[in-house]
Amino acid sequence: MSAGLKICIVGSGPAGMYTAGAIVKKNPESQIDIIDKLATPYGLVRAGVAPDHQTTKNVTRAYDKVMENENVRFVGNVGLSTDVPLEKLREFYDVVVIATGTPKDRNLGIPGEDKEGVFGAQTFVYWYNGHPEYRDAVPNLDINTAVVNAKGTVAKEVARILMRTEDEMMHSDLAEHAASEIFKSPLECVHVVGRRAPENAQFSSKELGEFAELTSAVTYTDKSILPDTFTSEDKKEEKVVNTNLDLLRGFEQTHPGIKGRSIFLDFLASPIEILGEDSITGVRFERNKIVDGKAYSTGESYVLDCQLLVSCIGYEMGILEGLPVEKGIIKNDEGHVDEGLYVVGWAKRGPSGTIGTNRIDSQNVVERMLADFEGGGDPTKKGHAGLDAWCEEKDIHAVSFDDWKKIDAAEVERGGEKSPRKKFVRTRDMLSIVQEKDRPC
């Protein structure tokens, strides 16, 4: 039996939390430490999910339940690599599970990408969601036109948040510093440009529908390229695409010279060059055509003048010392990386799927892990005592789950009656309300 394993999960996002939950269920004797480089748990649920989508964040209630288990600890403000090397974690624990997500924006790989005013989606979203590492990645929003590249959910969220009014965001937890920049911005127009056709684009009908509800911006699209109907062997897909086509038909017809705040949904175009001297002044796009479901360039190009580009083309792992990274994820065999080393979530599969997708995936990896450790763990491993001693020695101010609850309560109180919370966006401010005696290390 794999009783009494000492396990460290690196990352407290959905994948890390579902991993902890599955271990608690199948192997309740295990000691689980969930470390996170941030003082706040739950990864993209806090720092990614749109601030005006509060109900999605209710999933954290299930994660709170996992944290209530006496064998599970949150050890926040402790980063893998930055505070503790992987080899130390492997020395202390029988099992280390990497659940760091994919924290780096993927590059577009086109000329001009280093100009001011060009942002990856994660940087931009982390900024408006108050991620401490991106607090100072302040975009200049004293602009009239922005381009959001790609047509996935995140692109639509970025466009929507840029166009929402203060009243519309009243019940959100948009970070205060971002709110002040967004609401005073004279931004008039956001172009959301995707490389494929409307019927191939990855839309969620709910979010497309939200464009129609915006109080101060009108959404436009070129209806001449919308097919009358879409058929597919996949009936679920067929239904979603036809709903989206209906929604698009409900938008205004694109025509130049429109006044007021606008969102333009453009299709069949890929960015090939970012224009400007030091700062972006425009993006050159190449027109695409679809052949056998794939987008190919037609050779035609056009320029969209803009002063901000948010590129939402995906994320990757980046480099973490001691981990084999290939094609933007940690190289793994169904979650197994090396002896006693596993990976879950976006770090394992890449950045796709919803919060719920991580549940089954984490459960499968836990099953494999427990089977690998059927003979039990190594009784000489120090487990959390090893990590605590390490934090003590290195003077690392780790944040416990009780500490987080204090930070959480303070944020909720600061939010007042209307907003669910006013986030702290500096780790030092979070630490200042955490008392010494509650430190896990």
Ligand X SMILES: Cc1cc2nc3c(=O)[nH]c(=O)nc-3n(C[C@H](O)[C@H](O)[C@H](O)COP(=O)(O)OP(=O)(O)OC[C@H]3O[C@@H](n4cnc5c(N)ncnc54)[C@H](O)[C@@H]3O)c2cc1C
Q: Does 137 bind ligand X (CB under 6 A)?
A: no
Q: Does 99 bind ligand X (CB under 6 A)?
A: yes
Q: Which of 9, 125, 141, 147 binds ligand X (CB under 6 A)?
A: 125
Query: Site size for ligand X, by CB under 6 A?
Result: 33
Q: Which of 2, 8, 14, 422 binds ligand X (CB under 6 A)?
A: 14
145-164 binders of ligand X (CB under 6 A) = 154
Q: Spell out the SS3 assignment of the chain.
A: CCCCCEEEEECCCHHHHHHHHHHHHHCCCCEEEEEECCCCCCHHHHHCCCCCCHHHHHHHHHHHHHHCCCCEEEEECCCECCCECHHHHHHHCCEEEECCCCCEECCCCCCCCCCECEEEHHHHHHHHCCCHHHCCCCCCCCCCEEEEECCCHHHHHHHHHHHCCCCCCCCCCCCHHHHHHHHHCCCCEEEEECCCCCCCCCCCHHHHHHHHHCCCCEEEECHHHCCCCCCCCCHHHHHHHHHHHHHHHHCEECCCCCCCCEEEEECCEEEEEEECCCECCEEEEEEEEEECCEEEEEEEEEEEECCEEEECCCEECCCCCCCCEECCEECCECCEEECCEEECCHHHHCCCCCCCHHHHHHHHHHHHHHHHCCCCCCCCCCCHHHHHHHHHHHCCCCECHHHHHHHHHHHHHHHCCCCCCCCCCCHHHHHHCCCHHHCCC
- From the CB of 106, what's the least distance to ligand X, in Å? 12
Q: Does 11 bind ligand X (CB under 6 A)?
A: yes
- From the CB of 354, what's the least distance to ligand X, in Å? 3
Q: Does 362 bind ligand X (CB under 6 A)?
A: no
Q: Does 328 bind ligand X (CB under 6 A)?
A: no
Q: Which stretch binds ligand X (CB under 6 A): 75-83, 232-240, 255-263, 394-402?
A: 75-83
Q: Does 79 bind ligand X (CB under 6 A)?
A: yes
- From the CB of 101, what's the least distance to ligand X, in Å? 2
Q: Which stretch binds ligand X (CB under 6 A): 40-48, 108-116, 138-146, 253-261?
A: 40-48
126 vs 264 by CB, closer to ligand X: 126
Q: Does 15 bind ligand X (CB under 6 A)?
A: yes
294 vs 394 by CB, closer to ligand X: 394
Q: Does 43 bind ligand X (CB under 6 A)?
A: yes
Q: Which of 250, 322, 353, 415 binds ligand X (CB under 6 A)?
A: 353
Q: Which of 28, 56, 144, 252 binds ligand X (CB under 6 A)?
A: 56
- From the CB of 43, what's the least distance to ligand X, in Å? 3
Interface contacts to ligand X, rule CB under 6 A = 10-16, 35-38, 43-44, 48-49, 53, 56, 79-81, 99-101, 103, 125, 154, 345-347, 353-355, 358
